[in-house]
Amino acid sequence: MRKYLFWFTLIINSPIFGQNHNIGLIGGPSVNNINGNGRFESTKSIPGYQVGITYQLVQKNNWIYGIQIQFAKRGFIENYTSKLLEQPDTSSFLVTNRYSFGYVSIPLSVGYSIGKSNSWSIHLGAIPSILIDANTKSEFLKYKQNQNLTSKVNRHDLAGYIEFDWTKSLNEQWLIHSGLRYQKSIINLTSDSFWPSNKIKHLGYCLQFGLRYRLEKK
């Protein structure tokens, strides 16, 4: 992740760049699931969220270069039927596993905007992430069980994303913002100690709202 930050910082601070700088807060809800196979082929979505700080460098030719630091909550729901090992002839019962993953993410993006005080923009980017915590909550029959997965799953993630944004200038300095992002991971969540024969990759939709402050470069 340090490599991504180094190159991104080097590029946006080169002499050929530099018009307006926007800093602010951003966050919102998300709908998360996975792209998996085997027992994880048919999973259900689960709500999540992301919140953090954002920085944008906006050129006069409408190109936008952005970086964010966010905490993001992702996950999915798995349902399957099982039987008691000691009573295999009994009726099957439903097992529900709710997986939850917390990441520190650094979305990096390049975008293009149309409009001035009321603008629309499209952004393409990558999201390197580090896992902070992971757990699953299982429910079956009348039982509930929690398990910590932080040390078992892959702790690194990298996703690609596309985002559509709307931004409105309130005055010379303040801007409000909303956007819709679709993201999909390219790194497998599984590991040698967590379903190594399966493939599990995060995907999700994020609705974001933010407030930015414009710093004009003299």
- Please provide the DSSP assignment of 131-166 as one string: EEEEEEEEEETTEEEEEE-TTTS--EEEEEEEEEEE
Separation of CA 8 from chain center: 19
Class of domain 2-216: mainly beta
Report the share of the chain in percent with pLDDT over 70.
87
Min mean pLDDT across 59-63, 77-81, 84-88, 179-183 is at 84-88
Q: Does 1 score more than 70 pLDDT?
A: no
pLDDT-derived band of residue 8, with 50, 70 and 90 as boundaries?
Answer: low
How large is the average pLDDT for residues 4-32?
A: 74
Residue 176: the pLDDT is: 97
In whole angstroms, what is the distance from residue 57 CA to residue 122 CA? 15
In whole angstroms, what is the distance from residue 71 CA to residue 131 CA? 10
pTM of the model: 0.85
Q: What is the pLDDT of residues 179-211, one digit of tens each?
A: 999 999 999 999 988 888 889 999 999 999 999
Min mean pLDDT across 10-19, 32-41, 48-57, 156-165 is at 10-19
Residue 177: the pLDDT is: 95
Q: Following DSSP, what letter does each residue of 86-131 receive, concatenated?
A: T-TTSPPEEEEEEEEEEEEE--EEEEEEE-SSEEEEEEEEEEEEEE
Q: Quote the mean pLDDT of the chain.
A: 90
Q: Does 14 score more than 80 pLDDT?
A: no
